[in-house]
A and B are shown apart, each in its own frame.
Chain A
């Protein structure tokens, strides 16, 4: 976790959102429950109503039966007491009917049926009353005649039918209300369980987020504490002195390093001494001036100061001060950093000493280089003079005193001459080796194809005809020192031609290929070749892989080539096998490579 990053606002937003969701959920659950309970209450009322209606209807039918039974009894007996059930039953039927009308008024379907019930009941009751009064006035037969018309039975049937219809409706209402109660109860239960669980989940989530937040806050606080400990350590143990002053110069803070330098305890200084108190007496006035200037806004830069240690000895330091400003921009404190001047000076002296040493070494190296150059020069002159004399006078002897020499004498003189010439070449090669190592490298774009064809033309002019056929493939341009690269081609081609002497169809092929963005130039011959185990020796000075008598050479040529290639920052290597010819490859370093 990065230092001090808890992202508190985001966390706070998440917690708030979780709480809000939980509250909304609980509200919804509450509403559903209230709605459900109301629905259940309503359904229960409905059911109760249905029961009451059904009950009243049943009572009505029973009372109706009572009234009919009373009528039959009176008709049969003619005795008034038998008529009482008729009278009470009729009254009760009417009151039941009234009650029913009232009860069913809100339900239009039932109320309609109840309304049709009223005339049917009234018709039956009046039929009953008619027969009763006939029995009373005209006797049993007259009443029986009316009964036997079957009118009464029909009227009773119609009442019963209407009553059955109402009962069926009320039964349905009863059943429906029960089912509704059941359904609503399930709904309320389910919603309260799910809603409560979800709300608990959200609350738990909020708690979790808040806990994590407080953990990361703890982590941040821990890191802050660590950091401040580290900063304090850095402050206290810095290799330089730090102190902070108020605007009167009173020391309000000082690090341990400076305290140690001065030899004081911290509590002897903080809030007790001004910075001027610990200065050498004669410097105080000037220091106060500088201090005032600094507080006034001048840049007084770095200066030297002389402190006095507790033991009275002096401590020269280099001080650099700056003003600390408060929020309004007004000066508040002065903070100073100081270096122990002796240590400072010591380090500078060390640097100076090392620099001087380096310069001495460079001068020595330059001397050595010059000496080497002089040495080379004197070799070329002094070593050559006696050589010239030997060679020249041997030649004179051959030319002017040939008559006095027998063939063996002439041969011996010839040996002397050949060897002096060889030594001359050796000296020349050594000189050029040292020259090519020292001569400044001048990099320019080089047309390699033109350079190589120039070398070949020069060779053709200088050498006897014959020798190897030289084939040149396409050569990309290069960046390098044209004069030095000419030497490379000359010597590699010479080398190739030399080792194809005496071979059938001698051939030297010059080419180039691209390898990883670098051009690899190559010179291939079909000459005697060499064993790869000596491949590294090919480029060493005076290392020859073939006897002098077989192939002319000083053993310096390829060393020169290698030196030039290395100075270009390039690489050179050879591949060969005895009797298989040899190929020399080289690359040149990029522009700005080692020079």
Chain B
């Protein structure tokens, strides 16, 4: 099993600072090594659908949740989300949207596209856990990594 086959969390985030803060929050709880970080929508879609750099990998086996920023270079988050929902392989993968603001008008659009939850950045671990537990994935995520 390749490293990417063990990935349980996909973080799609273009901002280096935001990504670092999110990763640090998760790292504290030993979840960082199961995270794959995609820097834009294209990378995210390649990873999800085993294309481009991920052509030889089957990445979806362990994937539990996608943390998706909406404002991304090249292909934006909404597009990623709608492609995921349109494809039977990713249709059921939980997606938590990362948003700059609770007032973001895109939140309602995301719900219309079938997003499961949202977190306001910067991502606090507690906030992350709240979103994850609302998806019923808390134990799945934590229990599989005894270290």
Decide: A431 near B101, CB < 8 A? Known: A381-B71, A388-B122, A391-B122.
yes
Q: Is A377 an interface residue (CB 8 A)?
A: yes
Q: Is the CB of A384 within 8 A of B21?
A: no
The reply to whether the CB of A11 lies closer than 8 angstroms to some CB of chain B is: no
A381-B71, A393-B17, A396-B21 in contact; A388/B104 too (CB < 8 A)?
no
A318: B residues at CB distance < 8 A? none
In the complex, the answer to whether A428 meets B122 with C-beta atoms within 8 Å is no
B107 to chain A, nearest CB (A): 11
CA distance A393 to B16 in the complex (A): 12
Measured between alpha carbons, how far is A381 from B121 in the docked complex, in Å? 11
Complex partner residue of A389 from B17, B101, B102, CB under 8 angstroms: B17
- In Å, the complex CA distance between A480 and B32 comes to 48
Closest to B69 in A: A381
Known: A392-B17, A393-B17, A396-B24. A432 touches B103 (CB 8 A): yes
Contact indicator A388/B17 (Cβ below 8 Å): yes
State whether A384 touches B24 (Cβ < 8 A): no
Which of A363-390 touch B at CB < 8 Å?
A: 377, 380-381, 384-385, 388-389
**Is residue A435 within 8 Å, beta carbon to beta carbon, of the partner chain?**
yes
In the bound complex, what is the Cα–Cα distance between A389 and B24 (angstroms)? 13
Given the contacts A391-B122, A392-B122, A396-B24, A384 and B100 also touching, CB distance less than 8 Å: yes
**A427 contacts the other chain (Cβ, under 8 Å)?**
yes
Beta-carbon nearest neighbor of A376 in chain B: B105
A380, A391, A395: the one contacting B101 at CB < 8 Å is: A380
Q: Which residues of A contact B24 (CB under 8 A)?
A: 396
Does B103 contact A435, Cβ atoms closer than 8 Å?
Answer: yes
Give residues of chain B (80-115) contacting chain A, Cβ–Cβ below 8 Å.
100-105
Assess the A428–B102 pair: CB atoms within 8 A.
yes
Determine how close the nearest CB of chain A comes to the CB of B18; give it in whole angstroms. Answer: 6
B15 within 8 A of A: yes
In the complex, how many angstroms separate the beta carbon of B121 from the nearest chain A beta carbon? 6
* Closest Cβ neighbor of A428 among chain B residues: B103
Q: A385-B15, A388-B121 are in contact. Are A393 and B101 (CB under 8 A)?
A: no
Min CB–CB distance B51 → chain A (angstroms) = 28
Counting residue pairs across A and B whose Cβ atoms lie within 8 Å, the total is 43
The reply to whether B105 and A435 form a contact with Cβ atoms under 8 Å apart is yes
- Closest A residue to B70 using CB positions: A381
Taken together as a complex, chains A and B put the C-alpha atoms of A412 and B121 apart, in Å, by: 23
0/1 interface trace, chain B 1-26, chain A, CB 8 Å (1 if under) = 00000000000000101100100100
- A377–B105 touching, CB < 8 Å: yes
Which of A385, A392, A395, A396 is within 8 Å of B100, CB to CB? A385
CB-CB contacts below 8 Å: A502-550 with B: none
> Which residues of chain B have C-beta atoms less than 8 A from A389's C-beta?
17-18, 21
A383 to chain B: closest residue by CB: B100
Question: How far, in angstroms, from A365 to B132 measured CA to CA in the complex?
Answer: 44
Q: Are A380 and B100 within 8 A (Cβ)?
A: yes
Query: Which residues of A sit under 8 angstroms from B15, Cβ to Cβ?
Result: 385
- Please state if B100 and A381 are interface contacts (CB–CB under 8 Å): yes
Interface string of B66-84 (1 = CB under 8 A from A): 0000010000000000000
Residue of B nearest to A390 (CB): B17
Q: Are A388 and B21 in contact (CB-based, < 8 A)?
A: yes
Given A381-B71, A385-B15, A392 contacting B103 (CB threshold 8 A):
no
Closest chain B CB from A375 CB (angstroms): 13
Q: Chain B residue with minimal CB distance to A380? A: B101
* Contact among A377, A380, A388 with B18 in the assembled complex (CB-CB below 8 Å): A388
Chain B residue numbers with a CB within 8 Å of A431 are 101, 103
A residues near B18, Cβ cutoff 8 Å: 385, 388-389, 392
Taken together as a complex, chains A and B put the C-alpha atoms of A435 and B100 apart, in Å, by: 16
A350-361 interface bits toward B, Cβ cutoff 8 Å, 1 = contact, 0 = none: 000000000000
Q: Which A residues touch B17, using CB under 8 A? A: 385, 388-389, 392-393
Residues of A within 8 A of B103 (CB): 380, 428, 431-432, 435
Query: Are A428 and B105 closer than 8 Å at their CB atoms?
Result: no
Determine the residue in chain A with the shortest Cβ distance to B104: A380
Known: A389-B17, A392-B122. A384 touches B101 (CB 8 A): yes
Complex interface residues of chain A between 50 and 79 (CB less than 8 A to chain B)? none
B115-134 residues with Cβ-Cβ distance < 8 A to A are 121-122
A392's partner among B21, B71, B101 (CB-CB below 8 A) is B21
A139 CB to closest chain B CB (Å) equals 180
- Name the distance in Å between B119's Cβ and chain A's nearest Cβ: 12
Tell which of B21, B71, B101, B121 touches A428, judged by Cβ atoms closer than 8 Å.
Answer: B101
In whole angstroms, what is the CA distance A548 to B18 when docked?
29
CB-based closest 5 A-B pairs:
A392-B122, A392-B21, A389-B17, A384-B100, A431-B103
Q: Which residues of B contact A (CB under 8 A)?
A: 15, 17-18, 21, 24, 71, 100-105, 121-122
Q: Beyond the given A380-B100, A396-B24, could you list 5 further A-B residue pairs with CB under 8 A, ordered by the A residue number?
A: A384-B100, A389-B17, A392-B21, A395-B122, A424-B101
Residues of A within 8 A of B (CB): 377, 380-381, 384-385, 388-389, 391-393, 395-396, 424, 427-428, 431-432, 435
User: Can you list 6 A-B contacts with CB-CB less than 8 angstroms, sorted by A residue number?
Assistant: A380-B103, A384-B100, A384-B101, A385-B15, A392-B21, A393-B21
